[in-house]
Amino acid sequence: MVLCWGVTAVILAVMLGAVRRPQLVPGRLQWVGESAYSFVRDGIAREVIGHEGLRFAPYLTTLFLFILGNNLLGIIPLVQIAPTAKIAIPMFLAIISWVMFNYVGIKRHGFVKYFKGILFMPGVPKPMYLLVTPIEVFSTLIVRPFTLAVRLFANMFAGHLLLLVFTLGAAYLLTVGNFSVVFTPVSFGMAIVMTFFELLVEVLQAYVFVILTSTYIAGALEEEH
Amino acid sequence: MSVLAELSGNLGAVGYGLAAIGPGIGVGIVFAAYIQATARQPESAGLTRTYLFVGFALSEALALIGFVVPFLFGT
């Protein structure tokens, strides 16, 4: 929890520092801030949602930086557990995204038309609704936020366990007191390799969370579901 | 009766292993199809990326459920 506030403070400081004195030729900090924003705006919001996506770019950027910052704590020495490895934070982020895409959809189409689009998707033969409607309701309203939360949580948690297994394995092999001491460097080297692998996973999970959120928003905005 | 072999641990780990087979294949197929589509029609990369992530999310859902169930019903 303290870590979470710390990360938020760091992100805030970096981004405020980036826009404090905007210049035509960006300095180093400004370049970092602007490229982070333009990555999410052009690479995710505009690409997935389309022209309307620009409205959601600030939210998506905030989400991306928050998740990325929190995930990166998973490999920073002396911390090495991401706040997102506790289910509460991914769950809350998923609830925000869930409320958001439903709200956007209801605002665009109206309550009845939006849920009609979910319940009875057009272009399906009438008898098939018996089968399709429960699946659609389950997948849109329950599975979406659930998987969004659990995907982030599970990846961070499993990564933490993986690092722990190899680090503790190295410590155990050192103290076990027979010839298997020779395997200690293998286990410790694996822990270091896994740390870099975790870096990849952490960036990827932040990206996937944001791109799925924008995909759901795009789905809610579409005329025909 | 003497015990010849003993196995201890949580069956949930085995359960997750089984639950990961299907989604593993599924996610592989999804990405293979995306790569193939992009190779055949490079301009469609942006268009199909949305479907890529929707399909990826749907098929991965089962693996995630498999991950959570041992925690929920574990002793």
Amino acid identity of A38?
Answer: S
Position B10 pLDDT exceeds 90: no
For residue B40, being part of any structural domain is answered with yes
Angle at A15 between CA A14 and CA A21, to 5 degrees: 100
Total count of domains within chain B: 1
Which of B53, B64, B65 faces A212 most closely, judged by CB atoms?
B53
Residue A17 has pLDDT above 60, yes or no: yes
Please tell me which of A8-12, A66-70, A127-131 the model is most confident about, judged by mean pLDDT. Answer: A66-70
User: Per the domain annotation, does B48 fall within a domain?
Assistant: yes
Q: How far is CA B19 from CA A98, B15, B54, B62, B67, in A?
A: 26, 6, 20, 7, 8
A86 token code pair: 């506790």
Phi, psi of A124 (to 5 degrees): -115, 135
Is B11 a domain residue?
no
A14-38 mean pLDDT: 82
> Within a domain: residue B4?
no
Q: Give the pLDDT band (50/70/90) at residue A94.
A: very high
Q: CB–CB of A151/A162 below 8 Å?
A: no
Å from B5 to nearest chain A CA? 24
The stretch A137-148 carries a mean pLDDT of 89
Predicted confidence (pLDDT) at residue A225 exceeds the cutoff of 60:
no
Other C-beta atoms within 10 Å of A57: how many?
Answer: 19
Asked if B68's CB is within 8 angstroms of A154's CB, the reply is yes
Report pTM. Answer: 0.86
Task: Suggest the residue from A215, A216, A217 to mutate for an interface test with chain B (most B CBs closer than 10 A).
Answer: A215
Reported as a pLDDT band with limits 50, 70 and 90, residue A123 is confident
Closest partner residue to B57 among A47, A48, A147, by Cβ?
A: A147
ipTM: 0.74
- Whether residue B9 is contained in a domain is answered as no
Q: How many angstroms separate the CA atoms of A200 and A195, rounded? A: 9
B38-65 residue pLDDT tens: 999 999 888 888 888 888 888 888 888 8
Answer whether residue A59 shows pLDDT above 70: yes
Quote the pLDDT of residue B7.
Answer: 77
Residues of chain A whose beta carbon is less than 8 angstroms from a beta carbon of chain B are 47-48, 139, 143-144, 146-147, 150-151, 154, 158, 208, 211-212, 215, 218-219
Domain that holds residue B64: 27-73
Check CB contact under 8 Å for A147 and B61. Answer: yes
What pLDDT score was predicted for residue B75?
60
Convert the pLDDT of each residue in A157-211 to its tens digit. 888 988 998 999 898 888 887 888 888 999 999 999 999 999 999 999 999 999 9
> What's the whole-number mean pLDDT along residues B19-33?
94
Contact B64 A147 (CB under 8 A): yes
* Identity of the residue in B46, B49, B60 whose CB atom sits nearest the CB atom of A151: B60
Q: Which residue matches tokens 């680090």?
A: A167
Check B64 against A150: CB less than 8 A apart: yes
The C-alpha of B46 sits at a distance from chain A's nearest C-alpha, in angstroms, of 7
CB contacts, 8 Å: B54 with chain A = 215, 219
* B13 within a domain of the structure (yes/no): no
Give the pLDDT score at A64.
93
